[in-house]
Structure 1
Amino acid sequence: MPFYVSPEQQMKDKADYARKGIARGRSVVVLQYDDGILFVADNPSRALHKISEIYDRIAFAAVGKYNEFENLRLGGVRYADINGYQYDRRDVTARGLANVYAQSLGTIFTETNKPYEVELVVAEVGESAETDQIYRLTFDGSVADEHGYVAMGGQAEAVAQALKDRYREGMTLTEALRAAVASLEAQDSDRRLEAKSLEVAVLDRNREHRLFKALAKRRVEELLGEPSSEDSSEPAEPSGPSKPSGS
């Protein structure tokens, strides 16, 4: 006799499977600051990126299985390029992209045996903080319109609670980055995140044309107040006057 599983139980099992896979990954934080939107990922890799540009004013952040969210990212870039070319660059919006991702993730979740183990944020920076758009998408295609901050992956609830305690509107980039890093560290009281363990990028509304910018490690060190690794590797200057040669 064939084994029967109810549709409700199938959906529950898929959801539990996806949540466990996402929780095994490292966290990503997205939050607004006075000049735009900041993205911070607990990601020591310099080759496998969790944060990337999609279009002029739009960026993408993800947690979960890299090959799965990379496929989604590439699909989003193609969608943006085609629509911007056929119509107008202003017609490419985070809302439209979030709807495309929601349809894809929803179809995969309901029609395949294995759901995608991913969670995404699609963000678009506006002319002011009030017009910024941040959309969070889960493995089943659900979409949430977020404001202020988002935490995904790892112990997301602990990170989100720490962000809630630290976040305020109108933060500077330095304040926002330090709040994000402190919130990521809330998952493990013994762990200290340094610039080399972080992937950081911004959507800066004050830039022209392409508003996305990935921050170099040295810039992150400056914002966090860490001593520069390049400075520490330089030889120390002699403490006293040099002795004349030949004497």
Structure 2
Amino acid sequence: MSTPFYVSPQQAMADRAEYARKGIARGRSVVVLQYTDGVVFVAENPSRALHKVSEIYDRIAFAAVGKYNEFENLRIGGVRYADLRGYTYDREDVTARGLANVYAQTLGTIFSSAAEKPYEVELIVAEVGSAPEEDQIYRLPHDGSIVDEHGSVAVGGNADQISSYLDQRHRDGMTLAEALKLAVDSLSRDTNGGERTLTAEQLEVATLDRTRPQQRKFKRILGRQLSRLLDEHAAEGDGKPAADADGGSGKAGASDEGADGKGTKGAKDKDDSEGESGPLL
């Protein structure tokens, strides 16, 4: 009988971590920034059916990069956790910190288990407070650790380069338009230092807006409103005034809907089986 091949626990964990990091790096980046009225999520995502940014609860949103079927399962689990906790106790008891702890336990258990491969995902959980200093942003890597972030954070793709760019330019008190412009500029930078143009059709943008009168603060920025915000700063860069494409505040182009956001648990969980193909996003 031959002797079984031995791999040290340290080497096995290092190999699993490298496997997960490579899968995450192949996904398109997601950027999350604080601005005056809340938190904005900007993802490079040309798909209109598969969302990388989603609502979890009243003041909480979720962003992810990596394998869609894996982070979609985590999103659905987070929605169920939040709904159950809010129904059993109180809606104020559902917090981003509690949700991040649940995700950390799940990811940590999967990563340390030798029976299955680690999840190729990296998550961001954010909660908007009543004031900017009360906002919370947590980044959860593949191994289940929790990183408390402030100001800006990027995951997936060339996240290190994007994070460095954001750290140098992000500041407190930015407007939504300024934060969006900074996020798009950071996503437009290639690993070799070049730049490319990202259009509204290639972006997925959402906010947690503390100024909304509704209990639910999550809002997607779509269509004409997103195009107007992008064109506005493109025109400023050329030294020309921007035309208001929708003839007003642009709210007609905004939508609170999405594949995840009809406002009830059933609507959020309706697409439990959509992600089986597992594309990298």
Taking structure 1 as the reference length, what is the TM-score of the superposition? 0.90
Matched to 1:180, the amino acid is A
Hey, what does 1:82 align to over in structure 2? 84
* Structure 1 position 165, deviation (Å): 2.2
Matched to 1:215, the amino acid is I
Matched to 2:206, the amino acid is A
Cα distance in 2 between the residues matched to 1:60 and 1:200: 12
Q: What secondary structure does 1:81 align onto?
A: helix
Q: What secondary structure does 1:53 align onto?
A: strand
Q: Which stretch shows the higher mean deviation, 164-173 or 194-203?
A: 164-173
Identity of counterpart residues, as a percentage? Answer: 67
* Structure 1 position 224, deviation (Å): 1.1
Structure 2: any 5+ residue segments left out of the alignment?
Answer: 235-241, 247-281
**Which whole-Å deviations, capped at 9, do the CAs of 1:186-216 have from their partners, x for residues lacking one?**
2252421111100000000001211000111
Structure 1: any 5+ residue segments left out of the alignment?
Answer: 232-247
Cα RMSD (Å):
1.4
Hey, what does 2:171 align to over in structure 1? 168
1:196 maps to 2:201 = yes
1:210-225 matches, within 5 Å, as: 210-225=216-231
Cα distance in 1 between the residues matched to 2:68 and 2:195: 27
* Structure 1 position 88, deviation (Å): 0.3
Q: What secondary structure does 1:134 align onto?
A: strand
Match of 2:125 among 102, 122, 131: 122
Cα distance in 2 between the residues matched to 1:99 and 1:109: 15
Hey, what does 1:239 align to over in structure 2? none
Cα distance in 2 between the residues matched to 1:159 and 1:52: 22
Native 8 Å contact 2:108 2:143 kept in 1: yes
Match of 2:183 among 156, 163, 180: 180
Hey, what does 2:258 align to over in structure 1? none
Cα distance in 2 between the residues matched to 1:24 and 1:72: 19
**Which whole-Å deviations, capped at 9, do the CAs of 1:22-75 have from their partners, x for residues lacking one?**
000000000100000000000010000000000000000000000000000000
Hey, what does 1:206 align to over in structure 2? 211
Q: Which stretch shows the higher mean deviation, 211-220 or 45-54?
A: 211-220
Aligned residues: 230
Cα distance in 2 between the residues matched to 1:20 and 1:83: 35
Matched to 2:207, the amino acid is V
1:52-63 matches, within 5 Å, as: 52-63=54-65
**Which whole-Å deviations, capped at 9, do the CAs of 1:85-107 have from their partners, x for residues lacking one?**
00000000000000000000000
Hey, what does 1:154 align to over in structure 2? 157
Cα distance in 2 between the residues matched to 1:66 and 1:116: 10
Q: Which stretch shows the higher mean deviation, 106-115 or 48-57?
A: 106-115
Taking structure 2 as the reference length, what is the TM-score of the superposition? 0.80
Native 8 Å contact 1:162 1:186 kept in 2: no
